[in-house]
Chains A and B, each alone.
Chain A
């Protein structure tokens, strides 16, 4: 397992390098630059701005400069938030997103997986119908509508939870639930589907025939085996939830990272785009490594790329 982790870290470096290179090329191909604004600036001023951020140099040179800085762990400066470095911005925002994303992930797993299990075990009965109805609701209503609904019901009508801002643990409840809503629904569906798959396996049928269908051992085995697809999606899901959701952070006015993924692209804030992308990539690789380790624990037969 230690070798697996070490190998993953070694593999991660070229992936990160490729992510940085590809993103670097992508943003330069997309039209519009950081200094295009509502009011056009005189050419003299645009020239000054480009010189200040080395954007007047030929692209290959900019690339080399960027990679050198990256090698030193310096993600560069923001063009939009003038006096701040990308490192500063991400250091401020990351802890907030970690808390929010972690809460949402925990909520999604704690609600989604049992919901799916309940539905699968009670297949065709009312529990199943109800659970699937709920999960359908969860994935068919956009996050901004759920957010608006929550703010209206709990913040304005009942006045029991704050409608926004990030001051106390109470302020985390609505955003975390909103963020967890669709992944929970997704996990429920997935758990149900793969549990049903397992229930039809021969060994389960044998157990059922012997009248053991309700026993804890059988249930444990069913759950254990049906968690594989669930754990697969958990990797990307973790990365997505922790890097935050633009919609949730935007609606509840939370100072997290999610908004930078959208606004940096909108502003063509080159270094900030690259910085957020790299953070996301690192998280994703980490999460996927954990997932692969989890596979081996759940099912030792699955040898993953030794």
Chain B
């Protein structure tokens, strides 16, 4: 049982789940593309902000995904967009995970007055208008990519906190926790060894949602005019720039959406796989 949390153990179990392997491969590929484009390797014959006189051309042999209203190759932009989309998704999930689980774990484990007080704190953080917080962070840190990453992270930890706390409240009365307490284990090891691994399932699933929802939030930010600074672009900004062309130039919205879809799907399968791998009670052989 002691080794169940170890990386090797989880990875070994994960490798037995085909969907998860597939998802991981896909995510790995997208991340590779993102890293390569960050290193400015020429993945496409066109630079991402290179314009041509071919305005709004549909997909063709030259331009696989067509061109946009400034005559830029959409494929090059989607490749470039991978970098920011992945960064946005992972950072936001990371910030939400760290702040959210720690906060929620404390509230859920302590319970009583501390819990009540901390949950009112979550209410407070929830009630502050996201938009104001984001504009403010934009002003304080600058409207660069980093500002948006931080802003999205800072407005999305509350869900994770509430979820963690609910899990802890439910779990801390289970027999195995009572048993551990009876054995005289200290609070930290109870939280770390018993509560946390058992609460992790739904939290990870929720996190596999934070990644896509951050990617989407960023596209909504672009929709209301608070997105990234061009020519920087992400799949979200590409989708929000192209959605009015749904009828006239569907390729502008189709390709970015396709990549968002593939990424989200992969993260879902990965989340599922992780949950199974983390849970020692799952018999992997029984899964298809």
Contact = CB atoms under 8 A, between A and B. Distances in A.
Nearest to B114: A305
Contacts of A299: 170
A145 B240 CA distance: 8
Contacts, number: 167
Interface stretch (B32-40, B58-66, B160-168): B160-168
Interface in B32-52: none
A27 B132 contact: yes
B131 A262 contact: yes
Interface string B255-280: 00100110111001000100100010
Contacts of B129: 23, 26, 261, 265, 273, 276-277, 280
B205 A190 contact: yes
Given A132-B268, A140-B264, A236-B158, A148 B243 contact: yes
B205 A19 contact: no
Main secondary structure of the interface of A (DSSP, over half): helix
The secondary structure that dominates the B interface is helix
A295 B128 CA distance: 26
Contacts of B166: 228-229, 232, 295
A247 B163 CA distance: 26
B136 interface: yes
Contact of A306 (B112, B257, B261, B264): B112
Nearest to A263: B224
A30 B202 CA distance: 37
Given A189-B209, A261-B131, A302 B169 contact: yes
Contacts of B288: 124
Contacts of B1: none
Contacts of A306: 112
Interface residues on A, range: 35 or more
A22 interface: yes
B205 A200 contact: no
Contact of B127 (A27, A189, A280): A280
B13 to A, nearest CB: 14
B243 A139 contact: no
A194 interface: yes
B162 A233 contact: yes
B126 interface: yes
A265 B128 CA distance: 12
Interface of A: 11, 14-15, 18-19, 22-23, 26-27, 29-31, 124, 132-133, 136-137, 139-145, 148-149, 152, 186, 189-190, 193-194, 196-197, 200, 228-229, 232-233, 235-236, 239, 246-247, 261-262, 265-266, 273, 276-277, 280-281, 284-285, 288, 295, 299, 301-306
A35 to B, nearest CB: 18
Nearest to B281: A200
A285 B281 contact: no
Contacts of B158: 236
A301 B173 CA distance: 8
A142 B239 contact: yes
A26 B133 contact: yes
Contacts of A189: 205, 209, 268
A186 B133 contact: no
23 contacts: A15-B127, A26-B133, A140-B212, A141-B257, A141-B260, A142-B240, A148-B244, A152-B247, A193-B202, A193-B205, A194-B201, A196-B201, A200-B281, A229-B202, A233-B159, A247-B220, A261-B131, A265-B131, A277-B128, A281-B126, A288-B123, A301-B173, A305-B115
